[in-house]
Every structure is written in structure tokens, then in C-alpha cells.
């Protein structure tokens, strides 16, 4: 109980607070009597000290040391029967106590002895703790009864708000509001969320879940925040109460604690249900991918709950955490520890949240170490390039906001449910192709594999040799001239050997293009329009990214193609 509550009891009816009125909100866990100087070595935190001041009378300098030590231990104060030995509390002691907001209470007006005051105070504290325990059991039963009658987290929040007469927010671990009391029908919850997150940023999640209180200057009239972390097998978020003034007793803290406990149990139940539903979904799509479902009618019947429809277009997108690359992670693996499972669940929710911001319907599931999305494609106006661009932006956001490095493979469009396995395998090949190129945090479409899928089957040394021999004719030129000729030649072939389009793209006169091409023919000794020559140069231009991914900086210099 708080010191102010203890002093308000009949035990301390004739007591007088000399200094430290602002410190009466300090907690009292126990009461002790001092009759010797060495009591300073036996004090406990939040212990209220009673004394007759005998030893202080002869050693007034020890009084300051005593209250400084008690303040460091968060002791609530000291009660003195100064009249017993005609003790006068020095002015410097009163000044120090005022500075520390440390209460010093005059007990001379109380007729009972210090021993009797100790006994009565201890009984009162124990009675108060019993009352707190009964209240905690009652409020816990109240919240649990709501759940037992089929109600959930919104009703628990409303009940808590009614008990405390305060606005309540439930904030998840991603700093999103997942529940609120009816107060926020009139209040700007975004303002409350911003200020709350500033306060929560000072919390350490490594410490046990305890109620933390904060003062704020912004949320008038709610200047006091009570924050309680909610944990299941992972950190789920916070339950926050907004108060006009600090509570006078622990009942509100107990109410918040019990509400947080019941909400934690409800979230655990919801998580178990979600895990079971997710497991069924994973098994269905795994069976579909592996070909265990052989009729489209069966696939549509079982997949109806996941949005599968006949004659609709879909594609598979696979996502892998780059940090798990090379690790063998399978569903149900015992070494996939609880912490890793928790992190993967958070990654699942984070990825799903980011992709849900796109105007593209999808269903998400997991397969071994992969996150997989079945994307429903619009019948008209599908723009894969735009989808890839948006996906790349999401990949960047996941890394910037959560340091989550994700690589993505995209399969081709399919129109039959039984072909989902085909699109999945294509997405896997696209993903493997990106990793084969030594890339991370990439988005690779199977559509864009093209000739590159074949080229990567050729030994790297042979690719390098082909590349160098093709452009060997430019090696006698200086770097600038070689770069200009190769750039002109590449743009020329990219524009299907059209001189006008080539000159436009290069921002040079047509005659300049003609001059450069003639020089290329002279150096190479071939006709550039010859189909086989064209093919050789096109393949060589396509080889540069493959070559760069296979050789290190100590290898032979390769001409750079703009």
C-alpha cells in the first residue's frame, strides 16, 4: 500500500508529516523499528522505518546518511518519536529530505509504543494484501467469465475501461491498434498511439512483464499512462490505460494485470486455432503441388474456402528468408526451436501485412522454409512488370523496417487448379536461378529467365571465353572509344537494327550511328546484319551479368557494357 494510505489509517491519526508531502505515494511493503546505528545495513526496499531518534541525537550527521540510503532503496519514509529524547531534527536534514521528497513523519502524538505501531501497521499491510488478492481473484474471474460465455477481447477491454473509468488501447507488437474502448469513438486514437509508442520505446522486453507507468505532457487530460506487456509464447503487444491522475491504490494495476493475463490466454487460444487452420491450409496446398489431388472437382471443393475458382488465372510466388539459405528446415522439425517458430510467425504476419496493401487478392501458406502466395490475377490488364516492381518495393520495405532479407521467385500464369504445382515449380526455379547468380533480396520471374536459364547450364569458363573472344576486336581501342562502340552496337541490336530508333535512343545523329557501325564491322571483320553474327553479339551482351557473378575481382578485365 502507499504511505499516504497507511498514514490515513486510525493508527496514525495524530501523526504529522514534517517534510516530504510529495513523497506520500511511495509504496510500503513492510515496517521496521530502528534502535541502533547499524540498522542501515539491514534495511529492505520499500520498508517504512520507525525510530525514537536516540542514536541520532548524539550523531546528527548520521541522519542525512540514513535518509539518503533509504531513498536509494526506495524506502517510503521514516517515522520519528522525537519528543521521547527531546530530539530536534537539524535544518540541513529537513532541507535534504525536502530535496529528495522523502517523508519524515512526527509520531510523538501517537500514544501507542513503537512496538504497538509496528504490530498494527503490519496487520494493516497484510489485510491490505489479502484484499488485493481477493480483488485480483474477483477481477480475473470477471474477465474469464466473459470468455467462458463466448465473448472475447473487445468485451474484456470494455469491461476494464468501465472498471477504471479510463480509455484503453490494445497495441500489438507491430505497433498497430488491435483493440480499443468506446472512449475512442470521440478521441483521436492516432494521437494516443504516437505518444504511447514514444513511452513504450523506453521499455526493455528482456525484463519480466510488469506494469510500467509514464507521465506525458501531451495527452490532456490523460497525462498518466499505465502500460502492461502481453506475452504468450512470444511478445504480443501492450495493454495501455490512460489516466488523468496516478491511481491511489493498486486495484487499478491489478485490474490491468488480470485483464492482460486473460487477454494473453485468449490470444494463445486464437493462435492455436490459427495454427491448426494454417496447418490444414498448408497440407491442402502441399497435396495440390505434389499432385496428390488428381481431379479439379476435388481441388475446387477443398479449395473453395481459400478462394479457388474455376477458370480464373493464378500464379505462385515463393519467398525465402535469405538468412535460412543452406539450412534444412522442414515442417515439424524438432530442432526448429520455439524462438525460431515465433520469429517465423512474426515474419509471416509481417509479409502478409505488406502484401495486403497491394490491390491483389492472394492466399498465403508455408512450405518447409518458404512463404508461398497464390495470387489471383485480374482477367484483364495484368501487368507483371508492375507487380514485380511493387514486389521489389515491398522487399525493400521489409529490409528497411525489420531487417528481413527476402528473395522472391514468381511462376507463370495458370488457369487450372491442378496446374498450381507447375507454377510453383517455375517459381522455385526462378528463385534458385537468382541464388545461382549469387544474389540476395531479389525478385526473379520465371518469365524473365529466357535464354539465361540455358546459359547457366554452360560451364562458367566457357561462357567467359566466348564473351572475351566476341569482344576481343575492341581490345585495341582506349576505354572510352570501346565503351561507345559497344554501347552503340547493343542499342542497335536492341532496336532490331533500325538506324533511326538507334540514333534517337543514343541522342546522336543518324550519320554518327552509321560511322560507329562501320567501324565495328571494320574491327570485327564481319557484317553486323548477318543473322549468325547478330546472334553471337546478342548472346555475348546477355552474358555480362552471368560472367560478373562467376568471377572475382582478380580475374581478367571484362569490358563494361552500358
The β-bridge relationship of strands 168-172 and 177-180 is antiparallel
Higher pLDDT, 242 or 559: 242
Measured in Å, how far apart are the chain's first and last C-alpha atoms? Answer: 75
Please check the confidence at residue 105 and state whether its pLDDT lies above 90: yes
Handedness of CA 353, 355, 361, 362 (dihedral sign): negative
Q: Taking 70 as the threshold, does the pLDDT of residue 330 lie above it?
A: no
Higher confidence at residue 6 or residue 198? Answer: 6
Q: How far apart are CA 155 and CA 139, in angstroms?
A: 14
Percent of the chain with pLDDT over 70: 88
CB contact at 8 A, 485 and 520:
yes
pLDDT in tens, 402-454: 889 999 999 988 888 889 999 999 999 999 888 887 888 999 988 655 565 56
Q: Which of 42-51, 339-348, 384-393, 444-453 has the lowest mean pLDDT?
A: 444-453
Report residue 73 as a C-alpha cell. Answer: 532503496
317 vs 139: which has the higher pLDDT: 317
Evaluate if residue 335 carries a pLDDT over 80.
Answer: no
Q: Where are the domains of the chain?
A: 3-126, 151-270, 293-453, 459-550
- Quote the pLDDT of residue 17: 92
Q: Output DSSP code: residue 561.
A: P
CATH top class, domain 3-126 = alpha beta
User: What DSSP letter does each residue of 41-92 carry, written as one string?
Assistant: GT--TTEEEEE--HHHHH-THHHHHHHHHHHHTT---EEE-GGGGT----HH
- Confidence tier at 209 by pLDDT (50, 70, 90): low
Q: In the prediction, which pLDDT does 336 show?
A: 45
Residues 6+ apart with CB under 8 A from 542: 451, 452, 455
Classify domain 459-550 by CATH architecture: Orthogonal Bundle (1.10)
Whether the pLDDT of residue 285 is over 90: the answer is: yes
Q: Between β-strands 235-243 and 362-367, what pairing exists: parallel, antiparallel or unpaired?
A: unpaired
365: pLDDT strictly greater than 60: yes
Q: What pLDDT shows up at residue 122?
A: 92
Q: Within 10 Å of residue 70's Cβ, how many Cβ atoms?
A: 21
The matching CATH number, chosen from 3.30.450.40, 3.10.20.600, 3.40.605.10, 3.40.1670.10, for 151-270 is 3.30.450.40
Q: Which residues pair with 31 in a beta bridge?
A: 48
Grid cell locating 464: 567467359
What's the grid cell of residue 384? 507483371
- Nearest Cα to 320, choosing from 402, 433, 428? 428
Helix or strand or coil: residue 185? helix
Nearest to 417 by CA among 376, 359, 364: 376
- pLDDT higher than 70, residue 558: no
Task: For residue 553, name the pLDDT band (cuts at 50, 70, 90).
Answer: very low
**Mean pLDDT, the chain, integer:** 84
CA angle 503, 505, 511 (to 5 degrees): 10
Position 515 pLDDT exceeds 90: yes
Tell me which of 289 and 35 has the higher pLDDT. 289
- Residues 274-299, mean pLDDT to the nearest whole number: 91
What dihedral angle (degrees, nearest 10) is formed by the CA atoms of 93, 95, 97, 101? 180
| Architecture label for domain 293-453 | 2-Layer Sandwich (3.30)
The confidence score (pLDDT) of residue 280 equals 93
8 A C-beta contact, residue 377 and residue 432: no
Of 98-102, 121-125, 223-227, 409-413, the least confident: 223-227
Contact 450, 482 (CB under 8 A): no
Would you say 43 and 69 are in contact if contact means Cβ atoms under 8 Å apart?
Answer: yes
Give me the pLDDT at residue 149, please. 87
pLDDT number for residue 555: 39
Q: In what order do the strands lie in the sheet with 104-106?
A: 16-19, 104-106, 78-80, 47-51, 30-34
pLDDT at 450: 57
pLDDT at 244 over 50: yes
Report, as an integer, the average pLDDT of 81-106: 87
Instruction: Please answer whether residues 308 and 285 qualify as being in contact, where contact means their C-beta atoms are separated by less than 8 angstroms.
Output: no
Q: Which of 149-153, 323-327, 364-368, 394-398 has the lowest mean pLDDT?
A: 323-327
What does pTM read for this prediction?
0.55
Say whether pLDDT at 61 is over 60: yes
Among all chains, which residue has been given the C-alpha cell 521514516?
78
Cα separation values, 252 from 27, 159, 196, 246, 480, Å: 15, 13, 19, 10, 76
At residue 554, the pLDDT reads 35
Distance (Å, whole) CA 382 – CA 295: 28
118-175 pLDDT per residue, tens: 999 999 989 888 888 888 888 889 898 988 888 889 999 999 999 888 899 998 887 7
Q: Contact at 8 Å (CB) between 52 and 114?
A: yes
| pLDDT computed for residue 449 by the predictor | 53
Bigger pLDDT: 136 vs 57: 136
pLDDT digits (tens, 9 = 90+) for 76-92: 999 998 887 777 888 88
Amino acid at each position: 500500500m502507499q504511505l499516504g494510505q497507511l498514514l490515513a489509517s486510525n493508527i496514525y491519526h495524530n501523526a504529522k508529516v514534517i517534510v516530504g508531502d510529495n513523497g506520500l505515494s511511495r509504496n510500503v511493503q513492510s515496517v521496521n523499528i530502528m534502535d541502533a546505528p547499524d540498522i542501515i545495513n539491514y534495511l529492505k526496499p520499500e520498508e517504512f522505518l520507525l525510530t525514537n531518534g536516540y542514536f541520532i541525537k548524539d550523531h546528527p550527521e548520521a541522519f542525512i546518511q540514513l535518509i539518503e540510503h533509504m531513498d536509494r532503496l526506495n524506502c517510503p519514509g521514516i517515522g520519528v518519536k522525537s519528543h521521547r529524547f527531546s530530539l530536534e531534527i537539524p535544518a540541513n536534514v529537513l532541507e535534504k529530505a525536502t530535496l529528495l521528497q522523502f517523508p519524515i513523519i512526527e509520531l510523538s502524538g501517537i500514544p501507542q509504543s513503537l512496538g504497538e505501531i509496528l504490530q498494527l501497521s503490519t496487520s494493516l499491510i497484510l489485510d491490505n494484501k489479502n484484499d488485493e488478492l481477493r480483488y485480483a481473484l474477483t477481477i480475473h474471474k470477471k474477465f474469464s467469465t466473459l470468455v467462458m460465455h463466448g465473448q472475447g477481447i473487445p468485451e474484456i477491454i470494455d469491461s476494464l475501461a468501465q472498471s477504471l473509468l479510463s480509455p484503453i488501447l490494445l497495441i500489438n507488437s507491430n505497433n498497430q491498434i488491435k483493440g480499443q474502448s468506446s472512449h475512442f469513438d470521440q478521441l483521436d486514437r492516432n494521437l494516443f498511439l504516437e505518444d504511447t509508442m514514444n513511452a513504450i520505446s523506453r521499455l526493455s522486453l528482456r525484463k519480466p512483464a510488469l506494469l510500467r507507468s509514464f507521465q506525458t505532457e501531451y495527452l490532456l487530460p490523460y497525462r498518466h499512462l499505465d502500460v502492461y506487456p502481453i506475452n504468450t509464447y512470444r511478445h504480443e503487444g501492450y495493454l495501455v490505460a490512460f489516466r488523468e491522475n496516478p491511481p491511489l491504490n493498486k486495484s487499478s494495476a491489478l485490474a490491468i494485470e488480470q485483464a492482460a493475463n486473460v487477454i494473453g490466454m485468449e490470444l494463445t487460444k486464437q493462435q492455436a486455432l490459427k495454427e491448426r487452420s494454417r496447418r490444414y491450409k498448408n497440407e491442402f496446398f502441399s497435396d495440390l503441388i505434389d499432385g496428390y489431388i488428381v481431379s479439379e472437382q476435388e481441388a475446387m471443393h477443398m479449395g473453395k474456402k481459400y478462394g479457388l475458382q474455376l477458370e480464373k488465372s493464378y500464379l505462385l510466388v515463393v519467398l525465402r528468408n535469405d538468412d535460412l539459405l543452406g539450412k534444412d528446415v522442414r515442417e515439424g522439425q524438432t530442432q526448429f526451436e520455439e524462438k525460431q517458430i515465433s520469429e517465423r510467425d512474426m515474419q509471416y504476419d509481417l509479409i502478409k501485412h505488406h502484401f495486403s496493401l497491394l490491390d491483389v487478392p492472394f492466399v498465403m501458406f508455408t512450405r518447409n522454409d518458404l512463404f508461398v502466395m497464390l495470387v489471383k490475377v485480374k482477367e484483364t490488364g495484368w501487368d507483371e512488370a508492375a507487380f514485380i516492381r511493387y514486389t521489389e518495393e515491398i522487399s525493400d520495405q521489409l529490409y528497411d523496417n525489420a531487417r528481413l532479407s527476402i528473395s522472391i521467385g514468381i511462376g507463370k500464369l495458370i488457369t487450372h487448379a491442378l496446374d498450381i504445382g507447375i507454377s510453383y515449380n517455375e517459381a522455385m526455379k526462378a528463385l534458385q536461378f537468382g541464388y545461382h547468380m549469387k544474389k540476395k533480396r531479389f525478385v526473379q520471374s520465371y518469365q524473365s529467365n529466357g535464354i539465361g536459364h540455358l546459359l547457366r547450364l554452360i560451364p562458367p569458363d566457357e561462357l567467359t571465353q566466348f564473351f572475351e573472344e566476341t569482344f576481343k576486336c575492341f581490345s585495341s581501342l582506349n576505354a572510352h572509344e570501346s565503351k561507345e562502340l559497344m554501347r552503340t552496337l547493343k542499342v542497335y541490336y536492341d532496336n532490331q537494327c533500325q538506324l533511326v530508333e538507334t540514333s534517337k535512343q543514343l541522342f546522336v545523329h543518324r550519320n554518327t550511328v552509321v560511322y560507329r557501325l562501320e567501324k565495328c564491322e571494320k574491327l570485327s571483320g564481319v557484317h553486323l546484319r548477318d543473322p549468325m553474327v547478330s546472334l553471337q553479339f546478342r548472346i555475348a551482351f546477355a552474358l555480362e551479368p552471368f560472367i560478373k557473378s562467376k568471377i572475382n575481382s582478380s580475374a581478367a578485365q571484362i569490358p563494361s557494357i552500358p
